[in-house]
Each structure stands twice: as structure tokens, then as C-alpha cells.
Amino acid sequence: MAAFLTDQDVAQRVLDHIANRTTDTGEALWREPVRHYLCPRRFTDEVETVLRRYPTPFCPSAALPEAGSYLARTAAGIPLVVVRGDDGVVRGFRNACRHRGAQVASGRGCARAFRCGYHGWTYRLDGALQHLPHEAGFPGLDKGQHGLSAVPVEEKAGLIFVTQEEDAIVGDMDDLPELFTARQQLFDSSEYTLDLNWKVFLESFLEGYHIKPAHPETFFPFGFDNLNVVETAGRNARITFPFQRIAQLKDVAPEQRKVDGLLTYVYHLFPNVLIAVLSHHTTMVVLEPVAVDATRVISYSVTNNALEGEASLEKARNDKAFVSTTGQSEDIALAKSIQASLHSGANAFFTFGRYEKLPGHFHRNLQALLDQR
């Protein structure tokens, strides 16, 4: 059984909601203590107990298109590098030379080997130590025991998943649809830091209850007020934001309905990754916790189909620009206002209602894993 509804089933559910003036709802409220957004000890537990032990999406497969393609960044506080080997297999390593710990890679690129810029120790794409200058100065050194420190990596659903600790938590990857394909091309990536707790920003992606008041002149004129399809699959989830023009499918035979350009899917891959499938591009957003009140936002944007000239790429860029400079900036402003009030004492709990099923689903699963430690 597929983890999520088919496009045709989603279209029918949306059309039924339009006709009946309804929306998907949760069964219960969730009350999240405000102290969970403020407590440094809680933050440390979330990073060390969950994010480092859970198989977390690191980047789309499209970011590593060929042998030697690599991407280096910090995940859950640990510098990592992933690379596609000559055999096509993606491997991951802690980004630290085994001599004195300097990082061996930065950013994204393509390389035949990793060479530490401090003393020149050089590693093959499989992590093995290949060369060290003046090797005679290290008598008895076993090169076979000084390769880069590996972390478990799995490539699935067009994503690279990384787990950092040996006592890993079993993830929910098996039923994911193919979220990225080889036909898609990475055309943009970005990083910026927000002075927010990572969960405050995450919650803004997971419900449509806010669309009309928060986005009155950007998203709302094209969409609906509080009308969404909401699905869960294990700890993962998906929310559908339909556009008003989806109503044109009413007179189309159900099996012939296509939803491209008629809705936005936002997948939440537990715990900290979001994938938004829009009209002309798909963006993967990683919310990397930096501190209890700071989050590094990393995004990778790919075209939705094989490029067919500059016009196709321009559509993808325009699509991304609209989302980034309008709706997302509004969500960031609101998240900052929430962050600013956390210390006010006005709320002991945040109450997530039936129209906010997915934030509650996220907090419930996060708390359950923390309770097992």
C-alpha cells in the first residue's frame, strides 16, 4: 500500500471539500509546553537523541549527479561530507582529517580525492587514506586504520539519508514516493540563519489554517481559506495546498485528472526536512538546529522536469522567487514574532487544534522518541 494518496484521490478529496465547505481535520488537540522551545537541555536532547540517531535527508540525489560529486555541510552540529564514488555509490564521512582534524571539503563540487589543506593528507572517494606527505615521519602508522570516519548513508526516493550514531532509530523511508528523479536538475541552493527555534519555523509549513490571515495578498488569492488534504505515514506527513483553479477538474473523468500546477504538496520528512512540490520546481528545505534560538535554513531547488531550454529553467526560477520573496518572508516575520514572545510568560502551552493536525503529529512523535531515551 502506498504511503500517500494518489493525485487522483487527492483531487477528489479537494473537490469534495470545496463542495461541502470542509477540510481535513485531526482527532485531538495537542498542547506543547512553551518551555520546550526555550530550554537549552531540551534542545541538546533533541539534537543528540533524535537528529543524530535518525536517518535524516541530507540532500537530493540530484546534488550528486556524477562520480566525484560531493556536498559538505554541518548536520545536527557535526561537519559531514557526502560523495558519489566511482562505483556510483554515495558514501558519507565526518568532515575531519584523521591527522589533526581539519575539514577536508567545503561547499559543493566535484573532486577525484579529498586533500586536507593543513598537511596534505589525501583520501580517496571511498574514504581510504591514499597519501600522506613525508610518510617516514609516522613510523608504524597503519594507513588502513586512518581513513575518513564513515557514517551510514542510504540513497532512497531520490534523497541521500544520513545517520550519525550507531544506535540508530529505525526511520520511515520504505513507503516514500520518488520525491526526486534523475531527470531533475539542481538550479539553486542557499543557506541563511534565523534567530528562531527550529520547531517554530517548522510548524509554519505544516498547516493551512493560517493562509488567509497570514498571506492575504500572496498565497490566499490563489488558494483557499483553511482547505487542505492532510496525510501521515509513520512519522512522515504530507499536506496539500490546492489552488482555486483545481475546480476545473470537476468535469474531468477521475482517472484522467492531473494535478500539476493545480496544487502544492509539502512533505514533512521527520524530523527536520520539508519538500515542497510546486508548479515548476521542487525545493528541499533542511532546518538545521544551531542553538535553542538559532536555525540554519538550507535549501536545494530542482526543476520539476528535464530542462528544455532556458525558458523552462526561467519558469523554475520565477516560481521559486515568488515563493521565497513573498509567502516565505511573511512566514519568517510571523515566526520571529512568536520567538520574541516565548519569554513573555503569556503562554505556558501552545495549543494546536484540529486544523493543525500535522504540528501535533510532529510534536507527538518527537516527544515519544525523547521519552525512550
- Give me the number of domains the chain comprises: 2
Q: 251 and 355, same structural domain? A: yes
pLDDT above 50: residue 117:
yes
Residue 291 lies in a domain: yes
> Distance of CA 101 to CAs 97, 143, 300, Å?
4, 16, 28
CA distances (Å), origin 367, targets 62, 162, 355: 33, 22, 20
Q: Are 179 and 158 in contact (CB under 8 A)?
A: yes
Question: In the 8-state DSSP scheme, what is residue 244?
Answer: G
What is the reported pLDDT for 2? 65
Check whether 307 has a pLDDT greater than 60: no
Residues 81 and 130 in one domain: yes
**Residues 189 and 147 placed together within one structural domain of the fold:** no
The strand ranges marked E within 85-128 are: 90-94, 108-110, 114-115, 122-123
Rounded to whole angstroms, the Cα distance separating 108 from 195 reads 25
26-40, 188-202, 294-308, 334-348: which has the minimum mean pLDDT? 294-308
Relative to beta strand 153-156, strand 150-151 is unpaired
Which of 83, 115, 84 has its CA nearest to residue 102?
Answer: 115
Q: Does some domain include residue 170? A: no
- Domain of 123 in residue numbering reads as 56-162
Cell numbers found for residue 7: 493525485
Taking a C-beta distance cutoff of 8 angstroms, is the pair 270, 46 a contact? no
For 227-243, the pLDDT digits (tens) are 999 999 999 999 999 99
How is residue 274 written as a grid cell?
A: 520539508
Q: What is the CATH number of the domain that holds 92?
A: 2.102.10.10
Residue 176 lies in a domain: no
Length in residues, the chain: 373
Together in a domain, 232 and 366: yes
